[in-house]
Structure 1
């Protein structure tokens, strides 16, 4: 092989060994922080994270049916554990990357009071939430309303989205006056971005432990393994905390 051709081959091989891509399925509530983390991850490691956002339940179905995802950032801890048990996730790889918080939010700055009494006074026509069958934040909202004793009265007013992103969009667009969303969607750097909000007390719903898992398609590949490690690092954790998640 000519000297220049050999050198070019070595350079390409070296670059390929250090720069790779990882297909990541990301729970919708984690959209903003993960977009920020992905930029940092590429800058620090050379690896590129290709992100898809949606509901955890739908991602589970896609992974079971052979979707090319290599890492899942779920909105719960049950799905990653289930994938490990079914042999689709790398055994023992799951860990909690964030603890989510449920809030009742309205784009109207005067609608949601600090105690959530608006759910009982009923001064609204539509209430948005994510599908509780596929989205953990939707399930948390249902649990909270059940404990508050308002579920039967509010069910006829539900506007249900496939994911927490769609539920949030229903409120933003005015299709619902208020809705149950993730704190991370309306909170940044210690401030409410707009509107009015009630932080749902943690004792009204099961902890939203959000786990990451390395999927079988990402096993032993440099980029997926690097991303799992990066999420545990101080830079990523600082971003996660800035969006209101607990660690």
Structure 2
């Protein structure tokens, strides 16, 4: 029987965040942002293991306590997300039929419902899939001068989220050239092999913390979720 394994690449520093401490270690409700991400994955009964890939030069991980159940930590992160995922897959030595759910460390507001919806929807899919949100706003293309150059039709456009869930063997094949500039996420790697990943409706709350102001929004979401539990 195939397993479901979560893989979290967390070797980046998050240069856009503009702080000396990587954003995955910024505190939310007294705990690192990354801890909230790992909680959701480790608490999911359908996931057998959670693999965290951090940089060999990581100075922060050992300063905190982390959920121990299911969690394995490897200091083999690469210079890019794709390289970190490829390194994690190689170390994982999973069966080709095992499912791997790659999730952004900075998407700390992933809900248990969205995670389970992805797992249930993709379980019998021949390719795999990802959480995503249909684009609701008008999309503008900008020029080098900082002006609108075109309005892009939003019909059929989706914003990719994570987790992105694919078979280990297929994903390893897709990431054989992790330095390829077109590999912005796992789905794009699968697409380069000629496959069409399935889109599974995600949630606006499952956003990626990118800017310092995003911390307040994430804190509010997590607090509201706790109050309603």
Q: What interval of TM-score do these two structures reach, taking the shorter chain for normalisation?
A: under 0.3
Report the TM-score when normalising by structure 2: 0.27
Higher helix share: 1
Report the TM-score when normalising by structure 1: 0.26
Q: Rg bigger for which structure?
A: 1
Higher RCO (CA-CA < 8 Å; seq separation 6+) = 1
